[in-house]
Amino acid sequence: MNATPLRNIAHTRTGDKGDTSNISIIAYHIDDYPLLAERLTVQRVTEYFAQLLDPNGPPVRRYELPGVGALNFVLPGILRGGVTRSLALDAHGKALGAALLDLLL
């Protein structure tokens, strides 16, 4: 199977709370959920955002929602103090979710 960008099979919904971003990846078709669950691991998401995450901070967490074909990732500390305090350009959930859709599966 050829690698395909995540955006070809899923979309995102995001949220921010304090310095934590929450990214949900939702399959367009429920039949693609097993592929998401297999390939979109905590390790891959952590590696993808390694430059933005605090290596000594809390780990990325993944929650599985197979009934709706979704995975939810919680990224503590990635917002560096929160959207209104961060000097990072576009480091809030919507930008992070859009960036994650470029990941090759």
Mean pLDDT of all residues in 98-104:
93
**Which sequence spans correspond to the domains of the chain?**
6-81
3-state SS, residue 57: coil
Ranking 47-61, 67-81, 90-104 by mean pLDDT, the lowest is 90-104
What are the counts of helices (DSSP H) followed by strands (DSSP E) for the chain? 3, 4
Residue 85's pLDDT is what? Answer: 58
For 14, phi then psi, to 5°, come to: -135, 165
Q: Which two structure tokens, joined as six digits, stand for 13?
A: 């919904």
* pLDDT more than 90, % of the chain: 71
Mean pLDDT of 45-59: 95
pLDDT band for position 87 (cuts 50, 70, 90)? low
Query: Is the pLDDT assigned to residue 25 strictly greater than 80?
Result: yes
- Check pLDDT > 80 for residue 86: no
Tell me the CATH architecture of domain 6-81.
2-Layer Sandwich (3.30)
